[in-house]
Amino acid sequence: MNTTNPRVRFAPSPTGMLHVGNARTALYNWLFARRAGGVFLLRIEDTDLERSEERYEAQLMEDLRWLGLDWDEGPADADSGEKGEFGPYRQSERLAIYAEHTERLLNEGKAYPCFCTPEELEAERKQAVAGHGPQVYSGRCRTLDQTTIDENLAAGKPFAVRLKIEDHPLRFHDLVRGPVEFAAETVSDPILVRSATGGAGGMSEGIPVYNYVVTVDDALMEITHVIRGDDHISNTPKQVAIYEAFGWPVPEFAHLSTILGADRERLSKRHGATSISTFREMGYLPEALVNYLALLGWGAEDGKTETFTLEELTQAFSLERVTPSPAIFDFDKLNWLNRHYLKQAEPERLATLSWGYFSAQMAGADPAAVHTWFLQLLALFVPAVDHLDQLPATSAPVFGFDAEAARANEENAAVLAADSARTVLSELANRVRAHQGRVAPEAFKEWMNEIKAATGVKGKELFHPVRIAITGAHSGREFDKLLPLIEDGAALGINIPSVRQRIERFVGV
């Protein structure tokens, strides 16, 4: 095995959205390759013709690119031609290769045709369960004599191709878990190629199965380290047997633990966002997601560092430090990381990423004309969100003011019921009445000082009622930044009520 120049692959099947679990597998593969100066390749596992869809394949590549995970070899798509010397990189385009290899195995007596029907196999399985024995294929067709085989073939009986499992333990080495061993009698002779029944089996007729093609491809593509989910551990002995049948070297394996939801069950849509594209739509930054995924099952050598750029990760990553135990996906920690990267993001980048969320509020506005103001808005509100799609809700008090709702709100009502609140608001109303035109932030600040002096009310008692009269809520962003934002926005022709209009509506000047 070539350890100086490792080759690893990410081999998703295009049957759905790229899930965080798979994304983490892709990341670890990529990190391992980049760290070691090796090759990272992308292979599309579309042998499940029924479920594979082209749009998923395109989405997958887009998601990978968004995360910053580029591949050295892989299939052609809209953005680039096929890369690499080991193609094709789509399994559906490699059928002839598999057929050739199946022929070889059959000729060498390492595989055999199996004429058992699904019904027969099902009956065997039921019997095994009833007898508390392992559910393995009996090997009935393994010992068929040539005459019977020829007769069956001549009669046009459909058959699957099975591999003969040798009678010795199947071992492999796992970089995350150490040596793993399976007794031969616990591994059935696996199906390599599905039978062709003449239509009854649907589109998959005669198509080789996953365990077989994955092994052929990994060997032919000279993969040195197979890094994948731990749901493949039980498949690995079958694959090891296939390597052995062909006389190919067995690669190193690294099986990554499952990502679970808060209820300790496999993470699924039920737990909230799980697909990469959803996180993107919600306004998570790719660097936050990458950082979080890296931490989910791996830790820095110092045991302390939490934030890593992709660059830093490639320096620090090693498979030896990957933990074997399953990890629960923690949205709180992801949010913390996202806030961390949001703070560091360039304002212009944030503007580009956020603009789309405000299509309702900014309807009809000229993006160029409101750009500076929009940056101002983001500077004030981005620090208050976990992810960008929360921006419209968090900044809603800027864009509109509902005096009725403000008064009706229970918490507000409690604040407004205080004598001090009434005094403060009437003082405020007096000043608005006496003042002409726009309420300048400087003037407002002066008013607040005057009211404080005149009434003796200060702190919460002073600011909460005023805040309600202007924003409809007793808490929010700092007044000295919020007021100019509202006033500038009102002057810009976006549909934003001015400070004066708000106070007038609320106090009824």
Partner RNA sequence: GGCGCUAUCGUCUAGGGGUUAGGACGUGAGAUUCUCAAUCUUAAAACACGGGUUCGAUUCCCGUUAGCGCUACCA
DSSP string, 118-145: HHHHHHHHHHHHHTT-------GGGG--
Query: Quick one: tokens of 272?
Result: 């909230």
User: Applying CB under 7 A, does 199 fall inside the site for RNA?
Assistant: no
192 contacts 163 by C-beta, under 8 angstroms: yes
In sequence order, the 6+-apart residues with CB closer than 8 A to the CB of 154 are none
269 labelled catalytic: yes
What's the angle, vertex CA 166, arms to CA 162 and CA 123, rounded to 5?
45
User: Applying CB under 7 A, does 436 fall inside the site for RNA?
Assistant: no
Residue from 126, 238, 269, 333 carrying the catalytic annotation? 269
Mark residues 367-406: x for contact with RNA by CB under 7 A, - for none: ----------------xx----------------------
In sequence order, the 6+-apart residues with CB closer than 8 A to the CB of 412 are 406, 468, 472, 473, 474
Measured distance CA(46)–CA(158) in Å, rounded: 24
User: Applying CB under 7 A, does 476 fall inside the site for RNA?
Assistant: yes
User: Applying CB under 7 A, does 477 fall inside the site for RNA?
Assistant: yes
Considering the complex, state which of residue 385 and residue 403 has its C-beta at the smaller distance from RNA: 385
Query: Quick one: tokens of 322?
Result: 């990957």
Stretch that binds RNA, among 101-109, 348-356, 371-379, 471-479 (CB under 7 A): 471-479
Considering the complex, state which of residue 397 and residue 497 has its C-beta at the smaller distance from RNA: 397
Touching RNA, residues 72-131 (CB under 7 A) = 114, 116-118, 121, 125, 128-129
Could you tell me how far CA 215 lies from the centroid of its own chain? Answer: 26
Mark residues 136-155: x for contact with RNA by CB under 7 A, - for none: xx------------------
Stretch that binds RNA, among 27-35, 172-180, 351-359, 365-373 (CB under 7 A): 172-180
Considering the complex, state which of residue 110 and residue 194 has its C-beta at the smaller distance from RNA: 194
DSSP class of residue 429? H
Mark residues 2-41: x for contact with RNA by CB under 7 A, - for none: -----------x-x--------------------------
Stretch that binds RNA, among 68-76, 206-214, 215-223, 368-376 (CB under 7 A): 206-214
Measured distance CA(222)–CA(70) in Å, rounded: 19
| Number of residues this chain uses to bind RNA (CB under 7 A) | 90
Measured distance CA(285)–CA(335) in Å, rounded: 10
Touching RNA, residues 305-364 (CB under 7 A) = 306, 321, 323-328, 330, 332-333, 335-336, 339
Touching RNA, residues 36-65 (CB under 7 A) = 45-48, 51
Touching RNA, residues 235-264 (CB under 7 A) = 235, 255, 257-258, 260, 264
Distance between start and end Cα atoms, the chain: 84
Least Å distance between CB 436 and RNA? Answer: 25
Least Å distance between CB 298 and RNA? Answer: 7
Angle separating helix axes 459-471 and 441-455, nearest 10 degrees? 140
Q: Is 198 left (phi over 0), alpha (psi -120 to 50) or beta?
A: left
Query: Residue type for 367, please?
Result: P
Touching RNA, residues 262-301 (CB under 7 A) = 264-266, 295-297, 299, 301
Angle separating helix axes 479-491 and 499-507, nearest 10 degrees? 100
User: Applying CB under 7 A, does 509 fall inside the site for RNA?
Assistant: no
Strand segments (E) across 80-206:
111-114, 160-163, 170-174, 178-182, 191-193
User: Applying CB under 7 A, does 201 fall inside the site for RNA?
Assistant: yes
Q: Which of 111, 160, 163, 486 touches RNA by CB under 7 A? A: 160
Considering the complex, state which of residue 110 and residue 365 has its C-beta at the smaller distance from RNA: 110
